[in-house]
């Protein structure tokens, strides 16, 4: 574009009127545009006038078109509140109610709903921002199993309270109606008067070929891995206020699970231990419950089909994600890797923070 090109400008206002407006305004955007028009009145080229107010020639062309078409009204709209929202408060409330009734939604489904019901369309980039402002969250939905009780959180809260209060009673916490009477005695060498440790217990099967993390590639995305497979599970204890432990038993039979419980006791030798765990048969059977009592370990069983209420699930998820791109050459090396990662991750309380807030907030004094 030639630097000496003049742009025809419609004189909607006199130069004297422009000067008065410039004196009265304290809005920088308005001042820039009025100065730009005044420079064109004086005979400056479009490029020079735009450059004088720190704008490009293309912006100057757009301003000229607005001024010539509608004068001050189009050139200097109300900058105070920006564009009015496409949906007013009432319409936003209606939208939120419809989204709540039929959740969850994909972005495409919400866009279609906006088009059909409200005759508006959002740019895909802005749609997410708008929905977050509306109070929506975006996450992978958990499958809710039919066997999960509707009051699962209330059940956990009650069981945590019962377990913490049970410390002062003589009745074994793990004992149930119908259990045999013999054997419900804490071993002589077990000490439980040093306070209470609370933690989360669960097993998983991490493998050295889980590819859950996306990586950058120039060519074919693949990893060269030795064919290593781990058959035994990893059984973990994620302690809030004690020593976390990970074991690799041969299987999840009750005998092997009790060996894992013994390791937890060895690493936490002076306190009563509360263990939050699921309803796997090797956990709930009398053999395991009795052996746990003998070790000074009391169980807090989660409601059926409620793995989301066990924070160690998030530890396993993070561990698998971190380990997925790493290369190992043997099962022994992979177990060492899992142990190291488990130790690092269980030093963080962030995995259990929401659980603590919901179930322990008023009971923290019970823990050592």
Tell me the angle at which helices 331-345 and 312-323 cross, rounded to the nearest 10 degrees. Answer: 130
The pLDDT of residue 239: 97
Task: Evaluate whether residue 8 is within a structural domain.
Answer: no
Give the model's pLDDT for residue 235.
98
CA–CA gap between residue 242 and residue 366 (Å, rounded):
14
* Judgement on whether residues 62 and 176 belong to the same structural domain of the protein: no
Over residues 264-279, the mean pLDDT reads 96
Q: Is the dihedral of CA 187, 189, 195, 201 positive or negative?
A: negative
Residues 210, 121 within the same domain = no
pLDDT, position 283: 97
The confidence band for 212, taking pLDDT boundaries of 50, 70 and 90, is low
Shared domain for 53 and 111, answered yes or no, is no
For the ranges 110-124, 126-140, 152-166, 270-284, the maximum mean pLDDT occurs at 270-284
Are residues 128 and 183 located together in one domain of the fold? no
| 171 within a domain of the structure (yes/no) | yes
Same domain for 285 and 198, yes or no, is: yes
Give yes or no: residues 211 and 120 share one domain: no
Least confident interval from 181-195, 197-211, 301-315: 197-211
Domain membership of residue 103 as a residue range? 89-133
Highest mean pLDDT of the ranges 117-131, 235-249, 312-326: 235-249
Do both 122 and 223 map to the same domain? Answer: no
Q: How many domains does the chain have?
A: 3
- Residue 180 has a pLDDT of 95
Position 359 scores a pLDDT of 94
Position 314 scores a pLDDT of 94
Q: Are residues 129 and 230 in the same domain?
A: no
CATH number for the domain that contains residue 246: 3.30.420.10
pLDDT at residue 3 in the model: 44
Q: Which of 29-38, 74-83, 286-295 has the lowest mean pLDDT?
A: 74-83
Query: 147 vs 7, 150, 304, 309, CA distance in Å?
Result: 75, 9, 6, 15
Residue 26, domain member (yes or no): yes
Q: Are residues 274 and 303 in the same domain?
A: yes
Per cent of the chain over pLDDT 70 is 89
Q: Do residues 68 and 97 both lie within one domain?
A: no
**Least confident segment among 20-24, 160-164, 191-195, 234-238:** 20-24
220 is a domain residue: yes
Pairwise pLDDT comparison (278 vs 148), residue with the higher score: 278
In a domain, 5, yes or no: no
Contact by Cβ (8 Å): 27, 67: no
Whether 265 and 165 map to the same domain: the answer is: yes
Is 140 inside a domain boundary? no
Residue 173, domain member (yes or no): yes
Same domain, 304 and 347: yes
Residue 86: predicted pLDDT: 81
315 within a domain of the structure (yes/no): yes
82-135 pLDDT tens trace: 556 788 888 888 888 888 888 888 888 898 888 887 888 888 878 888 888 888
| Kind and range of the H or E run holding 199 | strand 196-204
């Amino acid at each position: 574009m030639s630097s000496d090109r003049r742009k025809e400008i419609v004189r909607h206002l006199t130069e004297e009127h422009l000067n008065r407006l410039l004196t009265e305004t304290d809005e920088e955007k308005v001042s820039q545009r009025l100065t730009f028009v005044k420079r064109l009145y004086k005979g400056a080229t479009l490029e020079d006038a735009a450059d004088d107010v720190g704008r490009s020639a293309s912006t100057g062309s757009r301003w000229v078109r607005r001024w010539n078409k509608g004068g001050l009204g189009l050139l200097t709209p109300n900058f105070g509140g920006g564009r009015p929202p496409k949906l007013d408060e009432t319409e936003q409330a209606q939208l939120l109610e419809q989204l709540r009734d039929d959740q969850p939604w994909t972005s495409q489904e919400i866009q279609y709903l906006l088009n059909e019901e409200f005759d508006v369309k959002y740019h895909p980039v802005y749609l997410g921002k708008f929905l977050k402002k509306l109070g929506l969250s975006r996450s992978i939905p958990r499958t809710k199993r039919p066997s999960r009780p509707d009051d699962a959180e209330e059940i956990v809260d009650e069981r945590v309270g019962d377990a913490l209060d049970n410390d002062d009673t003589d009745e074994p916490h793990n004992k149930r109606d119908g259990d045999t009477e013999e054997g419900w005695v804490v071993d002589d060498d077990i000490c439980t008067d040093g306070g209470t440790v609370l933690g989360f217990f669960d097993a998983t099967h991490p493998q050295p070929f889980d590819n859950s993390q996306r990586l950058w590639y120039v060519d074919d995305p693949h990893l060269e891995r030795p064919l290593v497979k781990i058959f035994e599970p990893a059984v973990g204890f994620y302690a809030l206020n004690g020593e976390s432990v990970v074991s690799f038993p041969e299987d999840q039979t009750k005998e092997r699970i009790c060996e894992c419980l013994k390791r937890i006791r060895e690493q936490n030798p002076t306190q009563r231990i509360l263990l939050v765990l699921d309803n796997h048969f090797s956990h709930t059977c009398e053999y395991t419950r009795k052996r746990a009592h003998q070790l000074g370990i009391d169980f807090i069983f989660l409601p059926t089909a409620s793995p989301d209420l066990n924070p160690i699930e998030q530890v396993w998820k993070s561990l698998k994600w971190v380990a997925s791109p790493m290369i190992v050459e043997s099962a022994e090396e992979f177990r060492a890797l899992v142990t190291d990662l488990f130790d690092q991750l269980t030093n963080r309380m962030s995995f259990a923070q929401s659980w603590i807030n919901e179930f322990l907030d008023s009971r923290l004094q019970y823990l050592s």
